[in-house]
Chains A and B, each alone.
Chain A
Amino acid sequence: MRFVLRLPTLQQLRRDRMLPAVLVSVGLHLGMVALGFAAMSWGSDAPVPLPVYTVSLVDLPQPGPAPAGEPAPPVQQEVVPAAPEPEADSPLQAVPEVPPEKKPEPAKKKTPPRPRPQPPAVKPQQKTASAATTSVPEQPPAADTEPAAPGTGLAASGAGSVDGVPTIDSDAFSFAYYRNILTNRLRSTWSRPLVPGGLQQAIRATVQFVVLRSGAITDVSVQESSGYPPLDRSALRSVFDANPLPPLPDPYEGNRLSVTFFFELTPER
């Protein structure tokens, strides 16, 4: 049995008065194909949502070394008005709010987020066959059925200064109490991800963010991925949940504070 596809000849089409219909049909199909190509090429220009951790703050154009505002006076002036008789005429009278603080300039978004090279991160050694951790150097065998070690390593890291904005560990920011509050807050908002199969060695996600004078957190990014996305995400979530932090201390002269902070999971001993 043979199937033969016979195309009608031009004469046949003319004879059957099919020619216009065929031409329209062919035209339509070509049009659709062209549209398809157009859509594809247009689609490739569309902004593709990038994973958060590819954004680096290091390339931020900086507002320059903190002289943005005059140094805060040691005692800020607030005026409590001599409210006449609160009883009689204004029982609900609220004292006017604190004068607004100096507005920090908005962080400029750098245009094309440059993908950071994935660090040769320590991958969590996984017992399952799917663990494609080929690049990891051979680890000493872990104690067998060790559960995922929700480690507790958590500390402020003294990564280098992001030019312009003092980092929390630089000499320009010498407020130990603030560092303690920050550490405690992030510790309490961090829920540690599970690592199926346990860890061979510590993995660490380092995030970076900026604290404005009001205490609001902005410009959160993963500075260095742990190689284990759930840990990176938990670190980001912890920072988001810690917002807002306390206002920066009055004597601190800058309007922004850059923070680098790592979240570390360590193997259980």
Chain B
Amino acid sequence: MKSWIRGGFACALALLAVPAVLTAQQQENPTLKGGISETGLRRVVIAVPLFSAPADSGARALALEVTRTLRNDLEASGYFSVVPPKHYRLIPASAAGAEPPFHEWQGVGAESLVQGSVHLDGDRFRVEGKLFDPAGRQMIMGRRYRGTQDLGRQIAHRMADEVVLHYTGRRGMAQSKIAFVARVGQAKEVYLMDYDGRQVRRLTANGSLNLSPAWSPDGERIAITSYRNELPALFLLDKQGNLKKIRLPNSALNISPDWSPDGETLAYSASRRGNADIYLLNVDSLRTRRLTSHRAIECCASWSPTGRELAFTSDRGGSPQIYVMDAEGANVRRLTYQGSRNDSAAWSPQGEYIAYVSRVGGSFHVHRLDLATRKVTQLTFGRSNNESPSWSPDGRHLVFASDRTGGYDIYRIPAGGGEPVRLTRTEGASAPAWSR
């Protein structure tokens, strides 16, 4: 019944929108385009009241940080809708150890409830969080964490992933990281941040150009292209920020690495005779293998999650388009036929989509290709450029770089389309790479 109403509403909206779009186009005005593609998943309404804390300024600050981060994480996951905090004041506080007033929480629409507390534990803190099912008047899950004051966000991220796991069977993305490139004077350096744009850390500091970070599947290393030694070469960046060059035979212009799902092989592009082709590199033995040997420019490979195929860009058909091939270099098929310029393929973690960038009019936009149906969905709109898509580990979100505010910054968007959330404020950030 509800879906019927929603359907009718959508139809009415569409009918209203069509003439508006037509007239707008006729008048050469900027057209408003949009789209929503949902999986049909209904968000669980969850209440996260402020964690209780003893009368200690440090504990109170920690409680506030954990609560706010947790609310933000749950909302961002796409699985939950957090009850607005102003409703919480209506609910009487329960005595410590007593069961929460479940019927009151149901009264504000909460289908789920997280209650937590912060305790002083010597010079450290103890944070407890419990997940309840108000309808069943039961606890679902309880976790206790110990840490220092500065770990509040980390604790909240872990708790959020546990909550998501207990509703979906899959861990959330709250503990994932995003590597990206930011301009520092004339140089470009690799940075790291939490998935929500917080806790930004600089990883390289060599004053050169450091580009196109790619995560190893275990999250321990990042492969990058660096111009530190004049010519672009591949480097491995470890978690201490140490940079190690991959010494390739007769290396020349080695760029754009991508790590195979088993962590053993890097796909990269190299131009050995002035023509870029795609190569594979065994990370341990440093043995390389050439995959493409076409006269066209081939670049920017992205592994399928099975490790059996690669998507890449080639201009063998006259314009840059996305192609796929087997990991042996055979069986090359063209994937994209719309758009004069398609680039930056990124294969989704579950394997069903390829995100890529396509030129629409004068600007670049992130698109998503459904491999089963070959249906293309445009995810970004407007006059800005939107580039370098990268998937969240759960495949439900994408990050990309956009110049919609003038300078380039990193944005996150639901993989089905939606409103982008700005993550950085550097006016010079690009090439985001989401950890696996």
Q: Residues on A close to B: CB < 8 A?
A: 74-83, 86-87, 89-95, 98, 174-177, 181, 185, 188, 215, 243-247, 249-251
Q: Name the prevailing secondary structure of the A interface residues.
A: loop
Report the Cα distance A249→B177, complex, angstroms: 28
Q: What are 21 A-B contacts with C-beta separation under 8 Å?
A: A74-B142, A75-B143, A82-B151, A90-B239, A90-B240, A91-B201, A91-B241, A92-B239, A175-B136, A175-B138, A175-B140, A177-B112, A181-B167, A245-B169, A246-B168, A247-B141, A247-B165, A249-B166, A250-B141, A250-B142, A251-B140
Report yes or no: A80 in contact with B167, Cβ–Cβ below 8 A. no
Report the Cα distance A93→B194, complex, angstroms: 12
CB nearest neighbor in A for B199: A86
Cβ contact of B130, chosen from A75, A80, A174, A215, cutoff 8 A: A75
A246 → B minimal CB distance (Å): 5
Report yes or no: A75 in contact with B40, Cβ–Cβ below 8 A. no
Report yes or no: A79 in contact with B145, Cβ–Cβ below 8 A. yes
Report yes or no: A92 in contact with B170, Cβ–Cβ below 8 A. no
Report yes or no: B138 in contact with A174, Cβ–Cβ below 8 A. yes
Report yes or no: A174 in contact with B136, Cβ–Cβ below 8 A. yes
Chain B stretch 194-249: residues in CB contact (< 8 A) with chain A: 199, 201, 203, 219-220, 238-241
A175 → B minimal CB distance (Å): 6
Report the Cα distance A82→B149, complex, angstroms: 9
Given contacts A91-B201, A91-B203, contact A188 B40 (CB under 8 A): yes
Report yes or no: B136 in contact with A76, Cβ–Cβ below 8 A. no
Give the size of the chain B interface in residues (CB under 8 angstroms): 44
Report the Cα distance A251→B175, complex, angstroms: 25
CB nearest neighbor in A for B192: A91
CB nearest neighbor in B for A79: B146
Given contacts A75-B143, A91-B240, contact A177 B128 (CB under 8 A): no
Chain B stretch 138-178: residues in CB contact (< 8 A) with chain A: 138-148, 150-151, 154-155, 158, 162, 165-170, 175, 177
Report yes or no: A246 in contact with B165, Cβ–Cβ below 8 A. yes
Report yes or no: A76 in contact with B142, Cβ–Cβ below 8 A. yes
**B135 located at the interface, meaning its Cβ lies under 8 Å from any Cβ of chain A in the complex:** yes
Report the Cα distance A188→B150, complex, angstroms: 41
User: In the assembled complex, which residues on chain A have CB atoms less than 8 Å from the CB atom of B146?
Assistant: 79-80, 82
User: In the assembled complex, which residues on chain B have CB atoms less than 8 Å from the CB atom of A78?
Assistant: 143-145, 158
**B133 located at the interface, meaning its Cβ lies under 8 Å from any Cβ of chain A in the complex:** yes
Report the Cα distance A203→B341, complex, angstroms: 52
Report yes or no: B154 in contact with A95, Cβ–Cβ below 8 A. yes
B181 → A minimal CB distance (Å): 15
Given contacts A75-B143, A188-B40, A249-B166, contact A82 B124 (CB under 8 A): yes
